[in-house]
Structure 1
């Protein structure tokens, strides 16, 4: 609906109109001041070049639209006593968010040196995009923000993640028209099919069309209104269109549209909550069309600025050097009439100070935007109750993720009433063997459901599945940032789709940890399965363990990577990760039934250490070790153990040590990572002079990168994934990449000088086995019986 035909338009009183406009003018003045000024904050003297920052950084074009919306939301919050958050997709409009929080007083409460006085105002301007100051985006330093916006596309998914299980919360989400062209944003519109009006809060999308990106027009601003209306209705929305440039008309029109939308949201929730009516509603939204750089300079050197791409960043790029630009900047700033907006001491006038709600009703002070304030510990059952019985190493088989699914099922049950835990997966929950969770919940779904669907599709389901890794990640981030817990399970190869989203979240955590006022939030937990070594049905396209390498580039205090070798270690690691705060935890575990090695208490001890000698697989008790076999990952661990059994059977005089790594960061030294081992501990495991043959789950060079400072690094010989793969058997994948038991065994023989010619026959047997394997797998289509049926020999000591 286009506002202007609705009787609710034009309902602002003269006083409301005047106060809204004053607040908006003040916010715009503060925003321009942040971009340009480092002195003379209230223009009490003529503007001179030395008052201007030497480096002009920031984004003006989107900012006046963001402040306009913010002013109107404040009015609605006060009138309706709403609990509301503000998510800004164009987060590079950071000066507007900072200006709003300063006007509300929350900025000065957090940063006392930026209070509502003249020194605070000067500091507010100087610090913006300035060395030692604050970023130009709505970063963690910005009160009320959970969406940095430096990389576009995530706002709407974040908004819905915030609304899940928050029935009293309304999330206003401004979506930039440039942002609306991104893939993550396009899929996030479908969140309307997953939000439950009875149990969840509401999201009010505000699509802000100002027409231009950095240098070109935007798609949605250049299509007919009816086409855009049809698109948005197809996503499940009822759009209200507000367009114009005249401030008075726009204030009236937007107020009417906002009131109508909030009335519709209340009616939808009332039907679902009070009357038990459950249908998929058509949620309201607003399409706001304003000039880019609204209220800024109209032209510069005869070229249009306001309403063009030239307003995107700094409309007047050189006022220190160009007298014409200096005059234009002075006129622009004085056009807001700062003397009428601010008191002589620098504080906003009373009418502006009062145009916001009190306390935590202020959007810049919402506890939902500082989710650690609301975070409650999960109720977790004892993971030991789900343990796989292990009488002897390798004597039992189980699916590690299948076992974890039973644990997660009961985590869901234990936290159902509080609504603090959800699972997120791009249509892979069952494929990843987590199907047991469906005994505790259904899949969240408010679209059409049919009797023959795989499992219960219910509005209040705790399992969030949508075939968009972007949307699942965005939902989870919004859920975590507002004080809840979750886990994201994904095929290992395709988690790369969210590489950039992980980047942004890791950066957010890194900065947040340095801000005492931002409280710790629950960790972002990834479970990566259907991994590189077991892709029987998919092949080369599904084989990529490189997400670990990507994660390792982030700050050590933020990231953790775990490679549990069996089900009981996976249970212990999962329990630890769900209890942790302010990390990104990456857990890589296979889903296929595999041998189990450690009973649950041994597994818990091993996980606490993160790395250790498996004495039951080693025979170097006298300390005279010939070679160390290291392993990290479930399949590499199996192949190392198989190699050890071959060597100990064929060459019993060989003294071997098996070191298993479950916490990958233990390989770094303590100066590089908090989990890193001191050199003395590392040397006691791997020695300082003996060959180390290391079988690793991922790309082998990562192990070299983690251990390059160690005394024995030159003796590390790492085997891992080398981009060799196809649709083949699990063991053939190992052979193709050289991490199989036969290659590992030959590697040991080649690197233990004392064996000499005595091992020639054993080495030839292993070579022959590889030839036999090749013939067998290419003619029978399955692995050799001695490979398929292998288990750790019973002559070994138990764990």
Structure 2
């Protein structure tokens, strides 16, 4: 089991230099947390030199700096292409310090110059109003992962490595983060990494023993148990542990040498056709170092270094308490800043020479600013896949199957570029995208049996039954300059709600950073949706993800509800062409009526909202009596069926039918870039007529999007009201009062004066609801007139 490498990698001179560099990074990290002024301690620390609010995290930082310094050595010695994935949540001081030391920080932010004044500004800005966050945020060069919410560093690392054969992602995982569910699942990503065509991920489990106020599980786990745990995950673990810097430097250097030799050996075997049949056993490192390493041993008689009290601010009252300020000053002077920085405040030349140069600097690596590498996706013409609708509403087509054909050819067109993948939790075939398997397979690096279907080492479809992994892989893939699509059951996309939040926040900030170039949009296809989960039941029935999405900044998110295959083709094609967005497409996979020709679909989708004149019977010279609006495939079908009922029962009723594809176009133009002006909205929905709106999701979202509109008081929304079970498709609509009969009844009740004149129609529609109730419970299927309904043609 012994995996401690004999330390003999560094000469004395090399050891001294790398230790000085590490001390410089530690010094800058402490300075960022504490100091407003006097950055080089040219005078004794005074209260006014200390920040009034101390906001930052020290505990994990010295270990992160230690790893960074040793990766720099490997990059220079071997000319490696490495990015640094900082998993520990508050490692910002270290990441900023190291990118400043290597020079890229001042290149991007010239005001933070490489001199004493630049150091002062560097320290002042950290966790300070108008400055930068405490995380390795979008503002931090070299970062594609913000550690605000823990659990995603390793999955992001693997996403970055896919299809990047020369890239190595050094991923540091904090032992607090290692307790999260997503991180635990992420260890399995090695089963999807192909050494012949992908890059490599080096997981570095950084165990300092404590989280905020408690020991960590893996920090208290023995080396023997850790070895067996990670061996079981399919890794080859190496251990580095201790406290004394000289020994630790030698251990880390020797271990890195052996680990990187092993990575190259695995890749060379695979790329020379000598790869073993099974998934290679990639190396990983377990680094044990004290929490708050090199910081104060005690404060006020209480243990700090090597304990949870080092987690955030080890000595906290430096402005008011002279003894605390003395501890801070002794701590910082202990790094010997005169030995690290010249009189002008610049890092001394012999230390500057330790950092890589140009794009080999981890803060300047273009993979960590993926828009620099992004190439436009080569997509086919959607008209090649257009559905001939024939008699309107009569053809029954699985819309996502048609999109699957388009995705198949997109995959084929981009096979040489290797920059497009499809991600999903074991649902590609289920969601009717199976035609992609005509040109690729699911990637699978474990044993493949002769009877397995569509599994191969070279597959480009990523399937694993973890929405966290699918989301994280895709994020890492996009952030390093590629394209992708995430297909998921609608109800279970909620599993990654917080990951969506983090990515949306990242995009919002990067849009304000000129040096961060645009990346491809994160595209969701949500299918197997609420109205066609009648077979799985209530647990699978939830359309609420779009509500979360609608909370985000208007220029970041888009929500599309295409009603048929041709509109879905337009929407899917459009989303794959966009950048710096999160696009959510909700579309059913079951056979459904087809409403629009391709020409009509293009025109309708470009507008986002439109009147379907062919489904309306209003007089062009006067306003209609009623607007019947819909958004979503099943709501569209039920709305049109309701219009059909009303036109037959009350032919004199003038109805305008409106369909919404781009949901956020309902907002006003000053709230969303796609929003309609008030004049355009009123021209469609009228200023004073009743609007019966059948919506795919929870009704309140439509009210929220339209509350400022002139006619909002007359908009009556029907949608999912949290009623569901295992039942028939139409009964699902009836349970939630979204069906054609409820819509028709509401229309009659909302048009002034109509209820009194249409008593016979009301009674008939209510009678049909009662008849439906009895029929489905006796026969287990919907009534023939529901199952077989078609839009009437002239």
TM-score of the aligned structures, taking structure 2 as reference length: 0.99
2:703 pairs with 1:704: yes
Deviations 1:667-687 (A, max 9, x none): 000111111100000000000
In the TM superposition, what is the alpha-carbon distance from 1:397 to its structure 2 partner?
1.0
Q: Is the 8 A contact 1:3 1:257 kept in 2?
A: no
Q: Is the 8 A contact 1:105 1:115 kept in 2?
A: no
In the TM superposition, what is the alpha-carbon distance from 1:322 to its structure 2 partner?
1.2
Deviates further, 711-720 or 352-361: 352-361
2:453 pairs with 1:466: no
* Corresponding residue of 1:355: 354
* Corresponding residue of 1:193: 191
* Corresponding residue of 2:175: 177
Q: 2 CA distance for matches of 1:421 and 1:383?
A: 18
* Corresponding residue of 1:216: 214
Q: 2 CA distance for matches of 1:87 and 1:72?
A: 15
* Corresponding residue of 1:245: 243
Deviations 1:385-408 (A, max 9, x none): 111111232021100111111110
Per the alignment, in what secondary structure is the counterpart of residue 186 of structure 2?
helix
Q: Kindly report which structure 2 residues correspond to 1:645-724, keeping only aligned pairs within 5 A, or say none.
A: 645-724=644-723
Q: Is the 8 A contact 1:293 1:312 kept in 2?
A: yes
Deviations 1:13-57 (A, max 9, x none): 122111111110000000000000000000000001110000000
In the TM superposition, what is the alpha-carbon distance from 1:456 to its structure 2 partner?
2.2
* Corresponding residue of 1:452: 451
Per the alignment, in what secondary structure is the counterpart of residue 530 of structure 2?
coil
2:269 pairs with 1:271: yes
In the TM superposition, what is the alpha-carbon distance from 1:277 to its structure 2 partner?
2.2
In the TM superposition, what is the alpha-carbon distance from 1:196 to its structure 2 partner?
0.1
2:488 pairs with 1:486: no
* Corresponding residue of 1:567: 565
Per the alignment, in what secondary structure is the counterpart of residue 753 of structure 2?
helix
Q: Is the 8 A contact 1:90 1:152 kept in 2?
A: yes
Unaligned runs of 5+ in 2: none
- Which of 121, 133, 147 is 2:119 aligned to? 121
Q: 2 CA distance for matches of 1:480 and 1:91?
A: 21
Q: Is the 8 A contact 1:305 1:315 kept in 2?
A: yes
Q: 1 CA distance for matches of 2:272 and 2:77?
A: 22
Per the alignment, in what secondary structure is the counterpart of residue 694 of structure 2?
strand
* Corresponding residue of 1:606: 604
Q: 1 CA distance for matches of 2:571 and 2:274?
A: 41
Q: 2 CA distance for matches of 1:434 and 1:653?
A: 45
Q: Is the 8 A contact 2:87 2:172 kept in 1?
A: yes
Q: Kindly report which structure 2 residues correspond to 1:320-359, keeping only aligned pairs within 5 A, or say none.
A: 320-359=319-358
In the TM superposition, what is the alpha-carbon distance from 1:117 to its structure 2 partner?
1.0
2:552 pairs with 1:558: no
* Corresponding residue of 2:65: 67
Q: 2 CA distance for matches of 1:3 and 1:58?
A: 34
Q: Kindly report which structure 2 residues correspond to 1:271-420, keeping only aligned pairs within 5 A, or say none.
A: 271-279=269-277, 280-420=279-419
Per the alignment, in what secondary structure is the counterpart of residue 629 of structure 2?
strand
In the TM superposition, what is the alpha-carbon distance from 1:756 to its structure 2 partner?
4.2
* Corresponding residue of 2:74: 76
Q: Kindly report which structure 2 residues correspond to 1:414-563, keeping only aligned pairs within 5 A, or say none.
A: 414-453=413-452, 455-563=453-561
Q: Is the 8 A contact 2:561 2:586 kept in 1?
A: yes
2:782 pairs with 1:783: yes
Per the alignment, in what secondary structure is the counterpart of residue 426 of structure 2?
coil
Q: 1 CA distance for matches of 2:17 and 2:612?
A: 72
Per the alignment, in what secondary structure is the counterpart of residue 582 of structure 1?
coil
TM-score of the aligned structures, taking structure 1 as reference length: 0.98
Per the alignment, in what secondary structure is the counterpart of residue 153 of structure 1?
coil
Q: 1 CA distance for matches of 2:775 and 2:206?
A: 63
Q: 2 CA distance for matches of 1:294 and 1:601?
A: 66
Deviates further, 303-312 or 456-465: 456-465
Q: Is the 8 A contact 1:35 1:57 kept in 2?
A: yes
In the TM superposition, what is the alpha-carbon distance from 1:2 to its structure 2 partner?
5.0
Per the alignment, in what secondary structure is the counterpart of residue 665 of structure 1?
helix
Deviations 1:763-799 (A, max 9, x none): 111001001100100000000100000011012xxxx
* Corresponding residue of 2:732: 733
In the TM superposition, what is the alpha-carbon distance from 1:275 to its structure 2 partner?
3.0
Q: Is the 8 A contact 1:75 1:355 kept in 2?
A: yes
Deviations 1:178-210 (A, max 9, x none): 000000000000011000000000000000000
In the TM superposition, what is the alpha-carbon distance from 1:757 to its structure 2 partner?
2.7
In the TM superposition, what is the alpha-carbon distance from 1:557 to its structure 2 partner?
1.0
Q: Is the 8 A contact 1:74 1:356 kept in 2?
A: yes
Q: 1 CA distance for matches of 2:495 and 2:596?
A: 34
Deviations 1:551-608 (A, max 9, x none): 1111111010000000110000000000000000000000000000001111011110
Deviations 1:58-98 (A, max 9, x none): 11000000000000000000111000110010141100000
Q: Is the 8 A contact 1:563 1:662 kept in 2?
A: yes
In the TM superposition, what is the alpha-carbon distance from 1:743 to its structure 2 partner?
0.5
In the TM superposition, what is the alpha-carbon distance from 1:704 to its structure 2 partner?
0.2
Q: Is the 8 A contact 2:544 2:698 kept in 1?
A: yes
Deviates further, 305-314 or 749-758: 749-758
* Corresponding residue of 2:228: 230
Q: Is the 8 A contact 1:3 1:256 kept in 2?
A: no
Q: 2 CA distance for matches of 1:151 and 1:391?
A: 51
* Corresponding residue of 1:144: 142
In the TM superposition, what is the alpha-carbon distance from 1:274 to its structure 2 partner?
1.5
Q: 2 CA distance for matches of 1:402 and 1:297?
A: 63
In the TM superposition, what is the alpha-carbon distance from 1:383 to its structure 2 partner?
1.1
Q: 1 CA distance for matches of 2:357 and 2:41?
A: 30
In the TM superposition, what is the alpha-carbon distance from 1:3 to its structure 2 partner?
5.7
Q: 1 CA distance for matches of 2:436 and 2:535?
A: 24
Q: 2 CA distance for matches of 1:64 and 1:150?
A: 19
Q: 1 CA distance for matches of 2:89 and 2:181?
A: 17
Q: 2 CA distance for matches of 1:308 and 1:418?
A: 49
Q: 2 CA distance for matches of 1:396 and 1:356?
A: 65
Q: 2 CA distance for matches of 1:792 and 1:678?
A: 32
* Corresponding residue of 1:587: 585
Q: 1 CA distance for matches of 2:409 and 2:137?
A: 36
Per the alignment, in what secondary structure is the counterpart of residue 354 of structure 2?
coil
2:758 pairs with 1:759: yes
Q: 1 CA distance for matches of 2:414 and 2:619?
A: 47
Q: 1 CA distance for matches of 2:673 and 2:412?
A: 34
Q: Is the 8 A contact 2:535 2:728 kept in 1?
A: no
Deviations 1:460-480 (A, max 9, x none): 211000000001100000000
In the TM superposition, what is the alpha-carbon distance from 1:278 to its structure 2 partner?
4.0
Q: 2 CA distance for matches of 1:273 and 1:3?
A: 27
Deviates further, 692-701 or 382-391: 382-391
Q: Is the 8 A contact 1:669 1:678 kept in 2?
A: yes
Per the alignment, in what secondary structure is the counterpart of residue 640 of structure 1?
helix
Q: 2 CA distance for matches of 1:297 and 1:755?
A: 81
Per the alignment, in what secondary structure is the counterpart of residue 532 of structure 2?
coil
Q: 1 CA distance for matches of 2:22 and 2:89?
A: 18
Unaligned runs of 5+ in 1: none
Q: 1 CA distance for matches of 2:736 and 2:64?
A: 53
Per the alignment, in what secondary structure is the counterpart of residue 404 of structure 1?
helix
Deviations 1:319-367 (A, max 9, x none): 1111111000000000000011001111100011111111100000010
Q: Is the 8 A contact 1:667 1:707 kept in 2?
A: yes
Per the alignment, in what secondary structure is the counterpart of residue 286 of structure 1?
strand
RMSD: 0.9
| Cα distance change on mapping 1:639 and 1:525 into 2, 3 Å | same
In the TM superposition, what is the alpha-carbon distance from 1:707 to its structure 2 partner?
0.2
Per the alignment, in what secondary structure is the counterpart of residue 112 of structure 1?
coil
Q: 1 CA distance for matches of 2:116 and 2:351?
A: 16
